[in-house]
Chains A and B, each alone.
Chain A
Amino acid sequence: MNNENTGAIPDDAGNIPEMAKHSISININGEYRSLKVYPWVSLLDALRDHLNLTGSKKGCDHGQCGACTVLADGRRINSCLTFAVMYEKSNIKTIEGFFDGTLHPIQQAFINHDAFQCGYCTPGQICSAAGMLSEGHAHTKEEIKELMSGNLCRCGAYTNIINAILDVREGKYGPI
């Protein structure tokens, strides 16, 4: 990648040249994927529209709802508020990466606890819960509630979501 004008400024006719696209390679769910994107493509749009990984959801597209949460190098982030070009050679884990032949403990706990109704926020909730558990700062129910506050659920399944995560944290679904 060079540091000169990469041609992203539209010409007089308003056309943006193809050369403005950046070729990047991102490790997604354990596999390197190459894509060519304009720099203004969010990581979320790259996942959904360029790689057909539609598990990550677009809720607000402003970092307010958490439906787009993915793990970037192990840390939970809002994929709608960041550009795909910034993740060259990074490791991204989406909800599609949680199933490895069997359900991930958090997925199983969500089912057992009926921790969703419409399910739209669920991929983000699960990625966020995984990130939170690896961060290691949530020890009590109150702390889980606080540290999961970046994920909204308009069906109001919060009680069951928190109980599912508590069970996973206590090891009831095996190691994560």
Chain B
Amino acid sequence: MVPFNYLIAKDADEAVALSIRNIKSKLIAGGTNLIDLMKENVSKPDTVIDINKIDSLSAITELSEGGLRLGALAKNADTAYDNRVQKRYPLLSDAILAGASAQLRNMASNGGNLLQRTRCYYFYDTATPCNKRDPGTGCSARGGYNRIHAILGASESCIAVFPSDMCVALSALDARINIQSTFGCRVIDFRDFHRLPGDSPELDNHLQHGELITSIDLPNESFDLNHSYLKLRDRSSYAFALVSVATAFKIEDGLIMDARLALGGVAHKPWRNTEAEDYMKGKAPNVQTFAEASKINLSDAKGYEHNRFKIELAKRAIIRNCLTAANKNS
């Protein structure tokens, strides 16, 4: 690990100020991904700014217009087991608990979950070229072992996937991210936060250096009746998704009134395809509807040598998970 200075920020303003002042700094909350990357010399900050003492960012509070505000420093475990989250946003609770281990969920923060980096083996291996780690060096995964890699939205320069489960649910729920900087505060729709790799895969998202995620807002529409999170992986616990699916429906009189469908483990960001969602609206929640939606969702999918199976796996996972969601509480 490369030596660094350790600073403590007492509040959000100070975190932002210290971050601006130290251009090669990283903020640390749970640290579960950052420290791992630092051990591998993938991340080499010269300054680590501890934001864990900022008490105001760890609460989960009601929003006046309905909905729930999840503090950026609230732990993943505390979020998943929060009574309000479990009751009103069970999709989110289920997705969080499908990820990592109990120890890691106790450590990991909500803001950090959004900022975790890909688990592409080549990204972690500093002996190999990687455009995400060292822009311009090439992609080792395209012609290498790419079983866990992207089938949607990838580019010539990068086929890495974003590993979060929590974010798949947040995308499906149309969450919003509150961000503070020296210029004030701004809000980003969850779907616009992470980016596709394109020609600059070193950028995972649209957060700028010097910006601090303060909270994540869940809208009032909670999809607490018809929802399901399905995660398919090489072992049934404590592994990253090969394919995961978050589904939420509003069903009235036997017809789908609103549909949300987000995929994890398949792209550089949680994958939403509104065309597939719109197709399901007004239709009966049955296998035919879901099969067509799965085809629309995967229509642009492209597999590589070791991950072609994920295209069919994703289609079947969508159908299965949509049926589970539709039949829940019925």
A residues within 8 Å of B by Cβ?
Answer: 1, 3, 5-10, 16, 20, 22, 38-40, 42, 61-63, 66, 69, 75-78, 81-83, 85-86, 128, 131-132, 135, 137, 145-151
Chain B interface mostly: mixed
Is A86 a contact partner of B52 (Cβ separation < 8 A)?
yes
* B18 interfacial contact with A, CB 8 Å: yes
A-B pairs with beta carbons under 8 A, tally: 105
B residues within 8 Å of A by Cβ?
Answer: 1, 3-9, 14, 18, 28, 30-32, 35-36, 38-39, 46, 48, 50, 52, 77, 81, 100-104, 106-107, 237-238
Taking CB atoms, residues of chain A closer than 8 Å to B1 are 40
Is B6 a contact partner of A39 (Cβ separation < 8 A)?
yes
Which residue of chain B has the shortest Cβ distance to A68 in the bound complex?
B103
Q: Known contacts being A9-B46, A86-B52, is A78 close to B5, with CB within 8 Å?
A: no
Is B3 a contact partner of A8 (Cβ separation < 8 A)?
yes
Taking CB atoms, residues of chain B closer than 8 Å to A132 are 102
Is A81 a contact partner of B102 (Cβ separation < 8 A)?
no
Task: Pull 13 A–B residue pairs with CB atoms less than 8 Å apart, ordered by A.
Answer: A6-B6, A9-B3, A9-B46, A39-B48, A40-B4, A63-B32, A75-B77, A78-B103, A149-B102, A150-B101, A150-B103, A150-B104, A150-B238
Taking CB atoms, residues of chain A closer than 8 Å to B30 are 82
The contact of B5 among A39, A81, A148, A151, by CB within 8 Å, is A39
Most A CB contacts (10 A, CB to CB) among B9, B39, B106 go to B106
Taking CB atoms, residues of chain B closer than 8 Å to A75 are 77, 106
Query: Once bound together, how far apart are the Cα atoms of A78 and B104, in whole Å?
Result: 7
Is B102 a contact partner of A22 (Cβ separation < 8 A)?
no
Q: Known contacts being A1-B8, A8-B3, A81-B107, is A61 close to B46, with CB within 8 Å?
A: no
Taking CB atoms, residues of chain A closer than 8 Å to B52 are 86
Is B8 a contact partner of A137 (Cβ separation < 8 A)?
no
Chain A: minimal CB distance from B12 (Å)? 15
Most A CB contacts (10 A, CB to CB) among B5, B9, B48 go to B5
Taking CB atoms, residues of chain B closer than 8 Å to A145 are 237
Which residue of chain B has the shortest Cβ distance to A88 in the bound complex?
B8
Taking CB atoms, residues of chain B closer than 8 Å to A69 are 103
The contact of A76 among B5, B18, B31, B102, by CB within 8 Å, is B102
Taking CB atoms, residues of chain A closer than 8 Å to B77 are 75, 135
Query: Once bound together, how far apart are the Cα atoms of A61 and B107, in whole Å?
Result: 16
Chain B: minimal CB distance from A17 (Å)? 10
Is B107 a contact partner of A78 (Cβ separation < 8 A)?
yes
Which residue of chain A has the shortest Cβ distance to B22 in the bound complex?
A5
Q: Known contacts being A63-B104, A66-B103, A150-B238, is A16 close to B3, with CB within 8 Å?
A: yes
Which residue of chain B has the shortest Cβ distance to A62 in the bound complex?
B36
Taking CB atoms, residues of chain B closer than 8 Å to A8 are 3-6
Taking CB atoms, residues of chain A closer than 8 Å to B237 are 145-146, 149
Is A38 a contact partner of B101 (Cβ separation < 8 A)?
no
